[in-house]
A and B are shown apart, each in its own frame.
Chain A
């Protein structure tokens, strides 16, 4: 049993998503409670990113239902999901190489020099600098183009953009993938801080089971577009997750062998 009895902020029922012949999601039902950190793990191609993109309004499911705060919604666009308090760090980071760090951080949430429709660059620059500083991110300047940053720095920008957007629900698709040891633990600390504050609910995708178990309250394992395990982090282990994934792998190999043998 999970210790969480807070209300559900997200619930999905039977989400199906097909890309031509590929069925990326094959009936995904999951939930996320207020203030909870849910770890989503699974092999490459299991459908994790597809699930995130549906929850963020970027993709629309072929079947299934989504509830936000208990109310059924059809997330028809990213802006719609954002208006419900959902922010995302995409696996591809969704940064614009040609724009400066601060313009990237405020893309679609630009500050304007009211009453004029002009960008308040000074304010955005200052806030971007503050956010990155408080996250302990090292970049030469918020004025440089994102193209000139390292992979880890780029990832920090994408995370800062989502974290400081005052979202209630954060969807993090492999936020630690390109991080060095120091930066990685800074991000882990950041997630821990958010968790302790209890204001945001987080779904985090990661391939490092140890990290997931360390920081998440609950773990969902996604395999071939289905959730095959849903346990509190305290009740599962790296060994169990690895064993489940490997069993599935061996089953797949056997299946492929059988026709040849028979």
Chain B
């Protein structure tokens, strides 16, 4: 090294970047990789490249629309699950309010003659009450939310099947309302993105978000400092349910029918898996909405891509399971690497 310095021409214009100050690009790359969501973005891009190379129809306008429909409803639910997971709880029943909310809207319109919007709001209020119920049982009676919401899962499912008598109905339509609320091509994904942005702001830049992290990070400590942890938990149960009901309603407008069997545990587990792949810890205190959105995107890309490749549904589940494991392992490894690199 010393010799190099001596040999180096003294008129050199650009000094070699020292190890502490690498080139801006390298620094940008490092900054990016240290973000919690970086690993999942890398996975998503790799998958897109892979599917595009094996099936050029992957990035066609048609397929992008399909993909956006896969993502939207699940991403909205995962935003709610992230808030709950961060404060240390989970909602297994969100796939059932997903089916219930549009039915309430339907009956409000068909039976009571109320405007569609009023029906939608009524549906969401019922969802909020389901969330309140989940929250009260969990917080006041100290039943673990895994059990509480397993109970409401069956309860709400039975309720929806009873009021619908098990039959799907046509989604009522009312001028522009149904277009805006999911029927128009990209309206559902626009809602999903808007909700993700708003929820990320709530999580990162409001007291509610801060107190949610505090509650999940250190329940005793947070309450010693005076955070009303019961209120935070119950509020997030309600939020998650409302988002579930809203997602179900958007989907009902999109496919123009309301199915009592829609959603269910499938969409709930996808939303939770998306959140976890996106970096949310099941132990509480950690997670981002954007990460969950990207996690859901990865799952949707997998599903859509393999469908395009003509992989059978059975094989798909095997691949999906493996993909979730690989994504999780990658995520954990990258997180450890990131933490080591921060010193």
Contacts and interface: CB of A to CB of B under 8 A. Distances in A.
Is the pairing of A and B real? Answer: yes
Interface stretch (B75-83, B98-106, B223-231, B266-274): B223-231
Interface in A93-107: 93-99, 103, 107
A252 interface: no
B25 interface: no
A17 to B, nearest CB: 16
Nearest to A97: B217
B283 to A, nearest CB: 10
A79 interface: yes
B285 A97 contact: yes
Given A92-B220, A99-B214, A118-B205, A78 B226 contact: yes
A110 B218 contact: no
B206 A94 contact: no
A56 B222 CA distance: 14
How many chain A residues sit at the interface, stated as a range, is 20 to 34
Given A98-B217, A117-B207, A119-B205, A108 B285 contact: no
Contact of A110 (B210, B221, B228): B210
Contacts of B71: none
B250 interface: no
Nearest to B285: A98
A119 B224 contact: no
Interface in A74-94: 77-79, 82, 88, 90, 92-94
B238 interface: no
Nearest to A88: B224
B234 interface: no
A131 interface: no
A117 B206 CA distance: 6
B207 A99 contact: no
A118 B206 contact: yes
Contact of B220 (A94, A99, A107): A94
A58 B227 CA distance: 11
B213 interface: yes
A35 to B, nearest CB: 25
A8 B227 CA distance: 29
A47 B325 CA distance: 49
Interface in B86-144: none
Contacts of B220: 92, 94
Interface of B: 201, 205-207, 210-211, 213-214, 216-218, 220-228, 285-286
Interface of A: 53, 56, 58, 77-79, 82, 88, 90, 92-99, 103, 107-108, 110, 112, 117-119, 121
**7 nearest interchain CB pairs?**
A78-B226, A94-B221, A98-B217, A94-B224, A98-B285, A96-B217, A96-B214
